[in-house]
Amino acid sequence: MQKRKLGKSDLEVSAIGLGCMGMSHGYGPASDKKEMISLIHAAIDRGVTFFDTAEVYGPYVNEELVGEALAPYMGKVVIATKFGIQMVNGKQVLDSNPEIIRQSVEGSLKRLKVDAIDLYYQHRIDPNVPIEEVAGVIQELIKEGKIKNWGLSEAGVETIRRAHAVHPLTAIQSEYSMMWRSPEEQLLPTLEELEIGFVPFSPLGKGFLTGAIDKNATFDSSDFRSIVPRFKPENIEANQVLVDLIKKIAAGKDATPAQIALAWVLAQKPWIVPIPGTTKLERLEENLNAVEVDLTPKEFSDLNDALSRIEISGERYPAEYANRVGK
C-alpha cells in the first residue's frame, strides 16, 4: 500500500484509509462486532494504517469497536475521531463548549484504548462557540499530550483560516467525489495554500458510484440515505448518466466503477487521502486496489471534461443537516 502525508504535518498514512462509521451506524442495522473486527484486521493485513471513527457514531459503540480491533496494533496505525456532536433526547446537537470538548477527549481516549488521539476533528462547527476558543482548548490538549493533531470536518474556508492561525490544522475532512465536487471551488485551493491535508469521506457518493444502486433501491429506516434527497428514485434515475460514464471508463481500464471513482479522487492531489467505508471484505479489497489504477493525464482531463457536463440531481443532505456544513 502506498503512503501519503497529510499536508506539511509528519502524519503519514496509507493512501486509502478506512471509514468505520457504517460498521455500527448510519447505513442500516449495526454489523456483527466480531466480523467487523476481522474486517479491520484484514485492512491492516493489506496495508491500511488510517482508521476513521467519531464519538457520535452509535453513539460511542463505533469508537469501542475500533479501539478493541486496533488495540494489538498501537503505534502502527493512525486513528482519527471527532468531537462536537452530542446526542440529546435522540437528536444531534452541536456542542463544542470547552468543558464538553474535555469530556469528549477523555471518553474517546478510554474507548479507543490509547494515550493520545492521533487526529482529532471538530465534527461540525458550533455557531455558538468561536473557533478561536475551540482551537485554544485543542492547543491545551496537545500540550497535555492527549491529542497529536487536529482538524475540522465540513468547515468553511474562513473558519479554517481562523482555526489554523491559532494552531495549525493537519487535515480537513469533507465530502468529495465525482458526485460532489464543490470542494474544488474554494476548499482545495485554500488547503493547498495552507499546506493542510484533505480527507474526503463518501468518495463513492455514499455507494452510488459503485453502480450497485438503481431507482428501485430501498433503504432501511436506520440507513441515512432513506432521508437524503439524492437517493429519491427520480434523482437516482437522473444521476445514472454519471454511473454510465464511470462504467465505460472502468471497462477500458479493466477496473470496477468504484476503483475509477477512488482513482479519480487520488489523482487530484498527493495530499488527499479518501476514507471509503465498507462492511464486506470483497469491497475492501476492491477499494484498496484502486491505488493500482493509474489515470493518465489525458484520461484524467477527458474525465473531468465529461464530468463538467453532468449536472447532479438531488441535494446531498436533508435541510436539517445541510445548514450545519460550510460554516
Asked if residues 83 and 55 have their Cβ atoms less than 8 Å apart, the reply is: yes
Q: What pLDDT score does 320 carry?
A: 85
Question: pTM of the entire structure?
Answer: 0.97
- The pLDDT score that the predictor gives to residue 243 is 96
Interatomic CA distance for residues 26 and 214, integer angstroms:
20
The number of angstroms, rounded, from the C-alpha of 171 to the middle of its chain's C-alpha atoms is: 11
Q: What is the pLDDT of residues 82-96, one digit of tens each?
A: 999 999 998 999 999
Helix or strand run (H / E) with residue 174: strand 171-175
Q: What is the mean pLDDT of residues 57-61?
A: 96
Q: Quote the cell numbers at residue 150.
A: 487536529
Catalytic residues: 57
Residue 222 cell numbers, joined: 436506520
Q: Are strands 3-5 and 50-52 parallel, antiparallel or unpaired?
A: unpaired
> What angle in degrees, to the nearest 10, is found between the helix axes of 281-288 and 257-268?
40
Q: What is the pLDDT of residue 313?
A: 97
* Average pLDDT of the segment spanning 177-205: 98
Which residues neighbour 34 within 8 Å (Cβ) at sequence distance 6 or greater? none
According to the model, what pLDDT value does residue 319 have? Answer: 86
What is the pLDDT, as a whole number, of residue 295? 94
Span 25-30, mean pLDDT?
Answer: 92
Nearest-angstrom CA–CA distance, 17 and 19? 7
Q: What are phi and psi of 52, to 5 degrees?
A: -120, 130
Among residues 12, 74, 31, which one has the least CA distance to residue 281? 31
The set of residues, in sequence order, having a beta carbon less than 8 Å from that of 127 and lying 6+ positions away, is 94, 327
Residue 327 pLDDT greater than 90, yes or no = no
Q: Is 2 exposed, middle or buried (0-12, 13-18, 19+ CB in 10 A)?
A: exposed
Q: Are 221 and 299 in contact (CB under 8 A)?
A: no
Residue 178 phi, psi (nearest 5) = -55, -20
Burial class from Cβ neighbours inside 10 Å (0-12, 13-18, 19+) for residue 125 reads buried
HEC string of the chain equals CCEEECCCCCCEEECCCEECHHHCCCECCCCCHHHHHHHHHHHHHCCCCEEECCCCCCCCHHHHHHHHHHHHHCCCCEEEEEECEEEECCEEEECCCHHHHHHHHHHHHHHHCCCCECEEEECCCCCCCCHHHHHHHHHHHHHCCCECCEEEECCCHHHHHHHHHHCCCCEEEEECECCECHHHCCHHHHHHHHCCEEEEECCCCCCHHHCCCCCCCCCCCCEHHHHCHHHCHHHHHHCHHHHHHHHHHHHHHCCCHHHHHHHHHHHHCCCECCCCECCCHHHHHHHHHHHHCCCCHHHHHHHHHHHHCCCCCCCCCCHHHHCCCCC
**What are the structural domains of the chain?**
3-322 (3.20.20.100)
Average pLDDT, the chain: 96
Predicted local confidence at residue 140, as pLDDT: 98
Banded pLDDT at 210 (limits 50, 70, 90): very high
- pLDDT-derived band at 44, boundaries 50, 70, 90: very high
